[in-house]
Structure formats: C-alpha cells, structure tokens
Amino acid sequence: MDKLVTRFLNYVKYETTSDESSTSIPSTSNQLEFAKLLGKELEKIGLTDVSVDDNGYVMATLPSNIDKDVPTIGFIAHMDTSPDMSGKDVKPNILSNYDGEDIVLNKDKNIVMKVKDFPDLKEYVGKDLIVTDGTTLLGADNKAGIAEIITAVEYLIDNPHIPHGTVKIGFTPDEEIGRGADCFDVEKFNADFAYTVDGGPLGELEYENFNAATAKIYIQGRNVHPGTAKNKMINSILVANELNDLLPVNERPEYTEAYEGFYHLIAFNGSVEKTEIAYIIRDHFMESFETKKGTLEKAVEFLNHKYGNIITLEITDSYYNMKEKIEPVMYIIDVAKKAMEDLDIKPLIKPIRGGTDGARLSYMGLPCPNLFTGGHNYHGKFEYIPIFAMEKSVETILKIIELVQTL
C-alpha cells in the first residue's frame, strides 16, 4: 500500500480548486491539467480506453479477465477541491503513531487541532494520520478517492490471476460547485452501476441525500433622503431581513440534523436601493422539500403585497434524493455492505446531509451510491485522514469487485 500514500501525497500538491463564478468547463484550468496527468497515469499502469475530454472528464476501463458475464461496475471520484479554503501549496504531514493528544499543525501560527473540538481523533490512537500544516485544506475530498480507486485497479493489473469483471473508472471536475455530472457521458461510461468513492470516515455507505434547490431573491427598494423619507423610502435591506424573519428559525442548518431539512442563507449583498440574497433549500423528503419552497414563495408573495411587487424570486432545483433510484437495485447496497462486513468494517449507513455526483448520475441512469474514503473535517484546515482507513477503502473496492461476480 506504499503506492497509495505516495499517490495521495503527490495528488494534493496540485491545486484544483473549483470556481463557482466561472462559466467554463471545468471551472478552472488547473483541473484540466490534473485530468491530463491522471490520464497518463492510467495509461501507464495498463488501463484501456483511457480518455480525457476537453471538459476534464477522465474515463478508463479495466477489461474483464473471466469468461462469464457479470455486471460492469464503475468507481467515480472528483478532482476538484472545495473553494471554501485554499487548496494551493498544500503541505501534508504524516503524523506517525498518533498519541491521542492535541495536534500542533503549525507552531509558528499557533494552529492546533484540539481533541475537545474533534473527539473522533481518539478513535485513531496508535494510527498514522495525514494532516495539513494549518494553512490550507488537505484535499482528501476527493483526491483520497482517486488514489484509492487507482491503487485498487493497479493491484488487479499487477495480479492477473485474480478474477474480475469489467471495471470502469471515472474522474469528474467541479463536483464541489454542483456541476460534476453536468457533462458526464453515462452512455460512454457504460457501467451497470457505480460507486462514488467520496464519503467520509471508515465504513460510510450512503444512498440517501438531500433534495436541493437554490433560491435567488432580488429586492428593489426606494432610496429617498432620510430627512424627507417618511412614507416614501423602502429600505431593501430591511425588507430582506423581514423576509428572512418569516422563515422558520428552527429550520436553519445550525438547528438541524439527520433527516431534518433547512433553509440556509448563503449570500446577502445590499443597499437601501437594492438588495440581493440567496438561499439553499435542502430536505430528504420530496413532500417537505416542496413545502419549503412553497413557504418561501408565500413569504415573498406576502411582502410583495405589503410593499408593492418589489421582490423577484427565482428557485432552481439542483439535484434530488438518489434513494428513489437506488431502492429498485438495493443489491448494490447489499454488495457494498457485505464487502465491508467481510473485511471486519462496520457499515455506517446514513443519509448524506448534502449531495454528490452520484445523486445526479443516479437520475441520469447510472445508480451510484457513495463509499467512504476515510477522511474527516473536509473543506478546512483541520482536515485529516488515517492511512489505515485509506487502505481499508482500497480493500473494500477490491472486495466489491470480487463479490459482483456472484450476482
């Protein structure tokens, strides 16, 4: 498994942060350069049908080496890192034989990962961890997934006596900004089902996610000199605050968990004359998802009646809960669950409080639940990943490929 760690440490040195403000595909040129590097590596280790298209999508095939027909399985990961924190000049550190105490990530800047803030660290006493230097994210989301997938298929190439069916590999750009499946060619990929390797801690197995929408709201106020403003001024900032106050306080992210949905105010830019705000709306259940959108529409309707049609609302659905598409093929969950159990890994089956490429791919005809990478605290400077969990991810991929032959 030495190659696994070497790969990962190499991959995270490449800056591949995605950019939501960009209209290009991929959203940043660095992702396309990284895609080309991965394409060359896949060719070098012996995969066939390797392709890197102009949009940065990487695909490759490990041909079957058995005579019987078995389902074609795919494994998918994304190349971009979150724009929530810098992914430039990542300097990963290996912490050997972790002692269970607070971890000083950066002595000069006094950046410390404290056990009281991240109690999961206690589960990894005696293990080797890969951490950041406290100035960037790590990039385990999702370069750990890429390293794990490539290491697994390389193992099969290096051990041709191990029987396996056809395995498809896919790497996507821009997952972190919700565009990872935009140009994914499901027909070209040609798998019966797939798994994204994009989850968190050891054992995660996910096939439920939020239904998601984005709401953009434009408020046209009326600015008048405050000395003569009575019965004339409409302060769009205050109208925006009034709108926010009409939404349920207990349905904000900071007050929700598990299957509870939310409204999340993500942007607010305003003046007396004009204010623009944006929300993301999330819910696991379609009925309550539609109710949430309806509540926002009614709040806007009420304020438009009060102030005279000064608010414009645009709601755009982003993705839907993959559960609807996975339930008819639950055997792919059973296979992943058995693979973990055979490896003495406790499956952690829970809903994703977010979305993945797999959700959209499932609705595009490629059932695609999500497997763990082993990482923790994604998108920030306290991101870390235990090396043994990465190794277990590779073993899980290999075990799934083995079990698929029994279907």
Cβ contact 51:60 at 8 Å: yes
Per annotation, catalytic residue among 41, 80, 141, 198: 80
Cβ contact 270:240 at 8 Å: yes
Distance, CA of 310 to CA of 219 (rounded, Å)? 6
The rounded radius of gyration (Å) of the Cα atoms in the chain is: 23
Q: Could you confirm whether 128 is annotated as catalytic?
A: no
User: CB-side exposure of 170: number of CA atoms within 13 Å?
Assistant: 30
Distance, CA of 55 to CA of 202 (rounded, Å)? 32
Distance, CA of 297 to CA of 206 (rounded, Å)? 31
Q: Could you confirm whether 175 is annotated as catalytic?
A: yes
Per annotation, catalytic residue among 175, 198, 206, 395: 175
Residues with a known catalytic role: 80, 175
